[in-house]
Chain A
Amino acid sequence: MDRRLPLIIACGGLLLVVVAYLPIASASWLFWEGATDAWMPGTPSHTAARVLPRWTAALTSSPAGTQLMNLVFHILVAGLTSALVASLGVGWTWAATAGVLLLVNPVAVETIRHGTGRADVLVGLGTVGACLASVHRRWMWMTGGLLVALFSKEAGVVSLLLVPLVVWAARVQVSRAQVVWYLLSLGAVGPLWIIHWVGGMPLSAIPIVESDPAAAVVSASAWGALQVTATLRLLTTAVVGTGMTPDFDYDIVARAWRIASVVALVGIGGLAWLVRSTWPVVSFGCVWVLIASAPRWVIQTPRGYYNEHQFYVALVGIVLIVVGLLSSPWTDGRRSPLSA
């Protein structure tokens, strides 16, 4: 029974997610959808850098097909997350639970039900895949995952930080081959940067003034504070499971709350450091969320603040925190590579 339990949990989660996403069958195109090019509005850099979302978008022509493909990628990410959690020594029962929790988290709905979410779910697929490959010292697969993340969305650069985090936290023995493969992935960032500069979208915390009237024009410090506030709101929403919306009114949030959010996020970072030995998976999950969100605090993007589909990669960290908290007493004396 014990050996079958992870499989039963996984099947239950799959059933739950299929039932929950049944309305996909009657999906219609939403804002900024309906045409492949319209998925990436704005600067030409978007269309140039998001190669994989464009390729996969061409495979389906209906909204239901598009969203179904997003759901399939989401299930794959959940499967890889389960394998990653198991590789960290948590055990397959809790690893399967982690996958199910990622599958059914309501914050992932925006990623699946909107065309732009394709880029985010592919970044998730590449990032988690690269992390898993790193733990198992499959360097070529790691590079493949990193390239998937990098050529799906600009935010895929977080994968270049998360892979070393996993390697460091799980105490993977690094060989020269890994360094070479990692540097090869790093080399792919060069062309991406050039694409951005040519496309007129510099990666820095400066106001972007475009012809689009919806582009936010605020100072770098105001942007940073609001994005940190958004991160904390998304983190809370992902845990509590209510209050999801694609367009939260962050402008109405008082300055005191914005400062409190910055303090709270610094607190989460401190907590991650303090519990790194006693609750290693929780600590790892906290750092994952912070790294996955960090580019959003400094890179100003048009059309609004940090939203749920952009939070997709960070969602993996939320699941790690929850499973880390719940599973700790069940490690049965087995030492996790994280606490070695």
Chain B
Amino acid sequence: MTRAWMAGGLALWWGWQTAQYVPVWNTPLSLAMHVVQVAPSKPRALLNYGTMLVVHGQLSNARTAFMRAHAMAQAPHVPPYDRTAVTESATENLRAVAVLVASARARGWTGVYP
């Protein structure tokens, strides 16, 4: 009987964890955010997160994510091919964010960045 309860408990635990994890896959932003939470020092994950933030107009947070991706890409554990790709992409994206911010300011838009 104890093992039957264990099986039931395990099914409920897994079911609960599934119910918690399913909404993470609702949007690209929620997914990218989750990935960064689990692997905060992964450069490519930070790069994806930053890109999703740009899509959602959160330019300041995106800039932080790209800067962090750039910094993390220099860490010794990052493979050379990943380091090169992320460094180049993060630099390009930071430049693009700067252009977007300048353009928004020129139009007098507020709210898309702090």
Chain B contacts for A247, CB-based, 8 A: 35, 39, 42, 44-45
**Chain B: minimal CB distance from A43 (Å):** 18
Tell me if A113 and B11 are in contact (CB < 8 A): no
Measured CB to CB, the nearest residue on chain A to B27 is A28
A246-B31, A249-B45 given as contacts; is B11 within 8 A of A109 (CB)?
no
Which residues of A (311-340) have their CB < 8 Å from a CB of B?
A: 322-323, 326-327, 329-330
A101-B11, A104-B18, A322-B10 given as contacts; is B3 within 8 A of A329 (CB)?
yes
A28-B27, A248-B39, A249-B45 given as contacts; is B7 within 8 A of A106 (CB)?
no
- The SS class assigned to the A binding surface is helix
A28-B28, A326-B6 given as contacts; is B35 within 8 A of A246 (CB)?
yes
Tell me if B85 and A213 are in contact (CB < 8 A): yes
Tell me if B26 and A16 are in contact (CB < 8 A): no
Tell me if A101 and B14 are in contact (CB < 8 A): yes
What does the 1/0 interface line of B19-41 toward A look like (CB < 8 Å)?
Answer: 11111011110010011001101
Determine whether B110 belongs to the interface, using a CB cutoff of 8 Å to chain A.
Answer: no
What does the 1/0 interface line of A192-213 toward B look like (CB < 8 Å)?
Answer: 0000000000000000000001
Determine whether B111 belongs to the interface, using a CB cutoff of 8 Å to chain A.
Answer: no
* Contact count A vs B, C-beta below 8 Å: 114
Measured CB to CB, the nearest residue on chain B to A24 is B22
Tell me if A104 and B39 are in contact (CB < 8 A): no
Q: Which of A104, A217, A326 contacts B14 (CB 8 A)?
A: A104
Determine whether A50 belongs to the interface, using a CB cutoff of 8 Å to chain B.
Answer: no
Tell me if B35 and A251 are in contact (CB < 8 A): no
Tell me if B15 and A104 are in contact (CB < 8 A): yes
Determine whether A256 belongs to the interface, using a CB cutoff of 8 Å to chain B.
Answer: no
Measured CB to CB, the nearest residue on chain B to A254 is B77
- The SS class assigned to the B binding surface is helix
Determine whether B79 belongs to the interface, using a CB cutoff of 8 Å to chain A.
Answer: yes
Determine whether A1 belongs to the interface, using a CB cutoff of 8 Å to chain B.
Answer: no
Q: How far is the CA of A249 from the CA of B19 in the complex (A)?
A: 24
Determine whether B112 belongs to the interface, using a CB cutoff of 8 Å to chain A.
Answer: no
Chain A contacts for B23, CB-based, 8 A: 23
Q: Which of B20, B25, B38, B42 contacts A30 (CB 8 A)?
A: B25
Q: Which of A30, A248, A249 contacts B31 (CB 8 A)?
A: A30
Determine whether A48 belongs to the interface, using a CB cutoff of 8 Å to chain B.
Answer: no
Tell me if B39 and A249 are in contact (CB < 8 A): yes
**Chain A: minimal CB distance from B21 (Å):** 5
Chain B contacts for A22, CB-based, 8 A: 22
Chain B contacts for A322, CB-based, 8 A: 7, 10
Using CB atoms and an 8 Å cutoff, list the residues of chain A in contact with chain B.
13, 16-17, 19-24, 26-28, 30-31, 94, 97, 100-101, 104-106, 108-110, 113-114, 213-218, 241-249, 251-252, 322-323, 326-327, 329-330
6 A–B pairs (Cβ distance < 8 Å), ordered by A: A16-B11, A16-B12, A26-B26, A106-B14, A114-B25, A213-B85
Closest 4 CB pairs of A and B: A113-B25, A249-B39, A245-B38, A104-B15
User: What would 4 more interface pairs be, CB under 8 Å, given A243-B38, A249-B42?
Assistant: A245-B38, A248-B39, A322-B10, A326-B6
